[in-house]
Amino acid sequence: MYATAADGARMYYETHGEGPPLLLHPGFGCSVEIYAANIPALAERYRVIVLDPRGHGRSSAPTDGYAMAVFARDCAAVLDAAGVARAHVLGTSFGGMVAQHFALDFPERVDGLVLGCTTAGGSRHVLPRAEDAATFVAAASEPDMETAVRMRLRMNYSPAYAQAHEAEIIARAQEHAHFRSEAGTAGQLAAVQGHDTWERLPAIAAPTLILHGDEDGIVPVANAHILAERIPGARLKIYEGARHVFFIERADEFNRDVLAFLGEGA
């Protein structure tokens, strides 16, 4: 299914399950498939609505016009197309940045907010180690998908998980390599660089859960503590030994935590 934004861009989205609506927003350079380990469990209790962000997957990849406010409006367009007035919203990494903007720009449309492995951005963003930051940027522009995945492997997964699942992770990335767009990659990266919600975070009114791995090499865990301090009443859970894509590696635990949190407001 597709939703159309005000500028004409088209966003691919899927729905799974029945119940209160739950919007999932993928991270940088990711599509619907990144949540394959989460959708089935979440869809047992919720109507899960998950999209390919503009610039990636089956959604439009304009040559310009990328900004967090635009991604937030895209979320509103997807909910409109799905016939949903209000929803819980879950975003990881880049998707968590978009989720913050959506909660701030469309507070009347957010019931509960889950932010995973993300940051408030701006000058107070706690940077990864220089070598990790360089690797992330290099991998984002690496044309060979297998090479790009291998470059990020140790930042995304614990050593044990990466070793046990390396072939599976690479195969999954290669399967969706055709989703990539140079314009989309550059546009999403530009939106990330312009992201800064620190001043506005106290205005978030939705109940908020913040989840993060303590060994995240892309978005250091200190950023989760900043979010928890700035968002009124936010809860924080740190996953020991987990890295950036903990919602896949620790999917069972992640899914239980999200369902328990959202269920409290049911």
Give the domain ranges of the chain: 2-125+182-263
As a whole-number percent, the residues of the chain with pLDDT over 70 amount to 98
pLDDT for 178 equals: 64
pLDDT for 265 equals: 63
Q: What confidence tens digit (pLDDT) does each residue in 133-152 have?
A: 888 788 877 877 788 888 88
- Select from 3.40.1190.20, 3.40.50.300, 3.40.50.1820, 2.60.40.10 the CATH code of 2-125+182-263: 3.40.50.1820
Q: What confidence tens digit (pLDDT) does each residue in 161-179 have?
A: 999 999 998 888 777 766 7
The dihedral sign for the CA sequence 206, 41, 165, 52:
negative
Mean pLDDT by 10 residues, the chain (266 residues): 96 98 95 95 98 95 95 98 98 98 98 98 94 83 82 89 91 75 91 97 98 96 98 98 96 98 82
Exposed, middle or buried by CB within 10 Å (0-12, 13-18, 19+), for 8?
exposed
- pTM of the predicted structure, to 2 decimals: 0.95
Contacts of 244 (CB under 8 A, 6+ apart): 93, 117, 155, 156, 157, 213, 216, 217, 218, 219
3-state SS, residue 59: coil
Q: Note whether 41 and 24 are within 8 A (CB).
A: no
- The closest alpha carbon to 257, from 90, 124, 137, 20, belongs to 90
C-alpha to C-alpha distance for 255 and 233, rounded to whole angstroms: 21
Residues β-bridged to residue 115: 91, 210
Residue with structure tokens 């069972």?
Answer: 252
CB-based burial, 171-191: b 16+ in 10 Å, e otherwise: eebeebeebbbeebbbbbbeb
- From residue 225, alpha-carbon distances to 19, 131, 204, 229 in Å are 32, 23, 16, 6
